């Protein structure tokens, strides 16, 4: 955020205001009031499905968020889990293609994304987990999401499980960078109309992307209570500022009585974005819109991963 290239990106974005949705950066501010459609418009549609992504594009958030995983043939797909069985019918279609892993002393069957080609993954029902009406949904490749979003909204991918892929000799961060290079989205100029923000719980992933492409991607450190390091401490925030542009904790970590962490992050020149689990959002007494207004205007959070981009307060 402090470097010349990032400032150039912000200037380019500010310069594109005439054709951009009104929630995008306002001149002179710190690039706040950012709407990030988490898994698309996923409040009433299957998370990370083509239907949810298409609906989100129409609602014009600033970014569409997706998790990314890597297939056997090296294709990035928009999928949250490392394995396919919880949200698809992979066990029924490919009963023998599992790996056995030990969990709490028991052998459990799992069907890793990385053991299937994109063509195989495209045969899976990726909608019935949500509602049988969506049984025709297929897992979306990240290239498909780029094609859907280009020139309309930004992209906010999350690198998942880089250590799992590294252990297999694969580099999911490099795969993501190479896909952006192929799509000419690796430079500030290429990102006009489709800005790129990359998020990860894994500091190593963000460091790798910074090494690969300098400050041409905005980088966000994801945070939750289960991490070994206290990223929201004063020292933790100073540390994040050495390799990333912002921090995105789970919402409960930065609401009162911990809201002082927002100003502490800003003092380190970091954007503060949040994510949340759907349960308990919004709290009783608020609508989605009024609660998002509170988070932005009272707590001064800069960006919200949300499931209802049409309710985002402009
Ligand atoms: O990207 C923010 C959020 O999706 C991270 O949490 O549980 O989905 O990995 P989780
Ligand atoms: Ca995510």
pLDDT tens, residue by residue, 40-82: 999 999 999 999 999 999 999 999 999 999 999 999 999 999 9
Conformation bin of residue 20: beta by default, left when phi > 0, alpha when psi is -120 to 50: beta
Pairing type for strands 76-78 and 63-70 reads: antiparallel
**pLDDT, tens digit, for every residue of 185-201?**
999 999 999 999 999 99
Query: Coil, strand, or helix at residue 83?
Result: strand
Higher pLDDT, 25 or 297: 297
What pLDDT score was predicted for residue 19? 36
What pLDDT does 188 receive?
A: 94
In the chain, beta strands by DSSP E? 34-38, 63-70, 76-78, 99-103, 106-110, 154-159, 197-200, 218-223, 246-249, 271-274, 303-306
- Categorize the per-residue pLDDT at 2 as very low, low, confident or very high, splitting at 50, 70 and 90: very low
Q: Is 263 helix (H, G, I), strand (E, B) or coil?
A: helix
Express each pLDDT in 4-48 by its tens digit: 344 334 434 443 433 333 333 444 343 578 999 999 999 999 999
Q: Cβ-count burial of 155 within 10 angstroms (0-12 exposed, 13-18 middle, 19+ buried)?
A: buried
C-alpha 18 – ligand 1 centre gap (Å):
32
Question: Which CATH architecture is the domain 6-81+122-311 placed in?
Answer: Alpha-Beta Barrel (3.20)
Whether residue 199 has its Cβ less than 6 Å from ligand 1: yes
Residues 112, 77: contact at Cβ < 8 Å? no
* pLDDT tens by residue, 137-188: 999 999 999 999 999 999 999 999 999 999 999 999 999 999 999 999 999 9
**What does the mean pLDDT of the chain come to?**
91
Contact by Cβ (8 Å): 70, 63: no
Say what the pLDDT of residue 173 is: 98
| CB 161 near ligand 1, within 6 Å | no
Tell me, using a 6 A CB cutoff, whether residue 296 lines ligand 1. Answer: no
Ligand 1 atom 10: the closest Cα is on which residue? 80
Closest atom of ligand 1 to CA, residue 39: 4
Q: Burial, 46: exposed, middle or buried (Cβ in 10 Å; 0-12, 13-18, 19+)?
A: buried
Q: Identify any residues that bridge with 149 across adjacent strands, giving them in sequence order.
A: none
pLDDT score at 73: 98
Structure tokens at 46: 């299957």
- For residue 295, what are the CA distances in angstroms to 73, 213, 287? 42, 32, 12
**For the CA of 156, the nearest atom of ligand 1:** 1
Domain positions in the chain are 6-81+122-311
Q: Determine the distance separating the centroid of ligand 1 and the alpha carbon of 224, expressed in angstroms.
A: 9
Taking the C-alpha atoms of residue 139 and residue 129, their distance in angstroms, rounded to an integer, is 13
Considering only CA atoms, which residue is closest to atom 8 of ligand 1?
80
Q: Tell me what the mean pLDDT of segment 272-300 comes to.
A: 95
Identify which of 276, 279, 310 has the alpha carbon closest to the alpha carbon of residue 295.
Answer: 276
Q: How far is the CA of 98 from the centre of ligand 2 (A)?
A: 25
Ligand 1: residue of 86, 222, 273, 305 to mutate (most ligand atoms within 8 A of CB) is 222
The residue whose C-alpha atom lies closest to atom 2 belonging to ligand 1 is 275
């Amino acid at each position: 955020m402090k470097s010349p290239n990032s400032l150039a990106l912000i200037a380019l974005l500010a310069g594109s205001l005439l054709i951009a949705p009104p929630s995008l950066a306002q001149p002179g501010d710190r690039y706040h009031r950012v709407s990030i459609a988490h898994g698309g418009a996923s409040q009433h549609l299957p998370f990370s499905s083509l239907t949810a992504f298409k609906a989100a594009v129409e609602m014009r958030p600033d970014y569409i968020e997706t998790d990314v995983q890597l297939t056997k043939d090296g294709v990035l797909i928009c999928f949250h889990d490392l394995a396919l069985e919880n949200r698809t019918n992979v066990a029924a279609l490919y009963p023998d293609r599992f790996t056995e892993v030990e969990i709490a002393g028991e052998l459990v069957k799992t069907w890793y994304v990385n053991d299937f080609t994109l063509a195989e993954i495209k045969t899976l029902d990726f909608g019935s987990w949500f509602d049988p009406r969506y049984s025709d949904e297929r897992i979306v490749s990240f290239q498909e999401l780029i094609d859907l979003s280009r020139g309309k909204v930004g992209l906010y991918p999350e690198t998942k499980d880089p250590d799992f892929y590294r252990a297999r000799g694969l580099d999911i961060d490099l795969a993501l960078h190479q896909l952006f290079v192929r799509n000419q989205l690796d430079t500030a100029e290429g990102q006009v109309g489709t800005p790129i923000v990359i998020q990860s719980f894994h500091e190593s992933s963000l460091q790798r992307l910074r090494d690969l492409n300098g400050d041409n991607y905005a980088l966000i450190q994801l945070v939750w209570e289960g991490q070994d390091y206290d990223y929201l401490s004063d020292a933790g925030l100073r540390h994040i500022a050495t390799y990333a542009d912002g921090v995105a904790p789970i919402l409960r970590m930065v609401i009162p009585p911990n809201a002082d962490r927002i100003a502490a992050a800003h003092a380190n020149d970091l954007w503060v974005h949040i994510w949340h689990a759907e349960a308990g959002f919004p709290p009783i007494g608020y609508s989605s819109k009024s609660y998002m207004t509170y988070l932005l205007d009272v707590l001064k959070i800069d960006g919200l991963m949300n499931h209802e981009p049409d309710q985002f307060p402009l």
